[in-house]
Amino acid sequence: MTRKKSLINFDKTVAGVNITERGVKSYSKTIKVGPFQFTANLSEHGLRGSVGLPGTGISFRNIVSTELPDINTPDLPEFKDKPDMWSDNNKV
C-alpha cells in the first residue's frame, strides 16, 4: 500500500544531508573545480555521481553509479562454503 501524500512538502538540504518530511533520504557532497561542479550522492539505492556547470542547470547525471553491498547478508565462512551445483568438484 502506498503512503498518503502529505499536504505540505518539506525538502531541505542541510550540510549535505537531504531531509524530507519522511526523514533523511541521502547524503551529498559537491566540489567545484574550475568551471565544473562534481557531485557525489549516497542514498539507500547506492552511490551516484554527476558533473555539471554551476548556475546553468546543465549536468551529466549518473556518470558513476554503483550499488552498495547489502549489509543484511552475513559475510561468514559457512555462507561461502556452499558447493557449486555446476562444478564436478563438489565436497561431500
Spell out the domain ranges in the chain: 29-69
pTM exceeds cut of 0.85: no
Return mean pLDDT, the chain. 77
**Pairing status of strand 46-53 against strand 58-66:** antiparallel
E strand or H helix that includes residue 79: helix 77-80
Q: What are the tens digits of pLDDT across the range 47-85? A: 888 999 988 888 888 887 887 766 666 666 665 555 666
- pLDDT of 90 above 60: no
The pLDDT > 90 percentage for the chain reads: 11
Q: E strands within the chain?
A: 11-14, 17-20, 23-33, 36-43, 46-53, 58-66
Q: Give dist(CA 46, CA 41) in Å, integer.
A: 8
SS3 label, residue 80: helix
SS3 label, residue 78: helix
